[in-house]
Amino acid sequence: MASLRDIKSRINSTKKTSQITKAMQMVSASKWSRAESNAKAFVPYMEKIQEVVASIASGSSGSSHAMLVSRPVKKTGYLVITSDRGLAGAYNSSILRHVFQTIKNRHNSPDEYAIIAIGRVGRDFFVSRNMNVELEIVGISDQPSFADISELAKSAVGLFSEGVYDELYMYYNHYVSAIQQDVTEKKLLPLTDIEASGGLTSYEFEPSAEEILEILLPQYAESLIYGALLDGKASEHAARMTAMKNATDNAADLIDSLSLVYNRARQAAITQEITEIVGGAAALE
């Protein structure tokens, strides 16, 4: 059995850990609130731009655009959104496990795929396994702006337009609630399944639908990446907040258990001392 000093030391160290996890929980709760607002505020813009793109793409004028047409797949791109730090429960591991298994099932050679990694955890995961990381970005703000990923988004869309890969999939954690984040796979390019979220509005295009589509489609694809990043950030902060709350609760349970063991050991030591004193007194009589 551990000594009283060892048990007391464990209690003190667990209390300090609990203070740290509690502070991290409160910080994540604050960031989560803002990230959730950012993700929700971006939805109306995405719905409107999707409606406009769907209106153009549904006509014959947009059907021949390269970003709307499927082509034989020789190489596939995978855009994976993770965090820069851990301590977020299964936020990173669930999505990386899914992407890793998907790539292993679909491809036999690194030449058949390219990875675009957003987040240090995902970048390090793929690099450590010698997987083909084409583009990467780390150190993104907890409340990202489009400028933070604009270059990467343009490069990702540009690589498809240039034929470096023939399709692009995006993987991220979709925010459902503070306690639920779902791993999501979305086919980003080509844009073969654009559907308006509501009833189509009649539009008149100036100068022409073709010219507008040439500019709007890359912007739409880049906006999808940014929207997924905002969604992923809300999921990250919610997952970290939940993980730190669970850690704090577990620390409290451990402290209670150790305190009970400490009190029992202390009582046993006191009883032993009393027994020894009484025995010594009896021996002197």
CATH superfamily of 42-243: ATP synthase, F1 complex, gamma subunit (3.40.1380.10)
Residue type, 214: E
pLDDT in tens, 19-44: 999 999 999 999 999 999 999 999 89
pLDDT of residue 63: 54
Nearest to 181 by CA among 262, 264, 239, 133: 239
Contacts of 221 (CB under 8 A, 6+ apart): 67, 153, 156, 157, 188, 189, 191
What span, in angstroms and rounded, lies between the C-alpha atoms of 213 and 65? 8
CATH code of the region 4-22+244-284: 1.10.287.80
The token pair at 265 is 């050991």
Residue type, 126: F
Length of the chain: 285
pLDDT of residue 50: 82
Positions of the chain with pLDDT under 70 = 1, 57-64, 194-203, 205, 285
pLDDT of residue 255: 95
pLDDT of residue 120: 95
pLDDT of residue 240: 95
Positive or negative, the CA dihedral 276, 280, 281, 282 is positive
Model's pTM, two decimal places?
A: 0.86
Domain ranges of the chain: 4-22+244-284, 42-243
pLDDT in tens, 201-224: 666 767 777 777 788 888 889 999
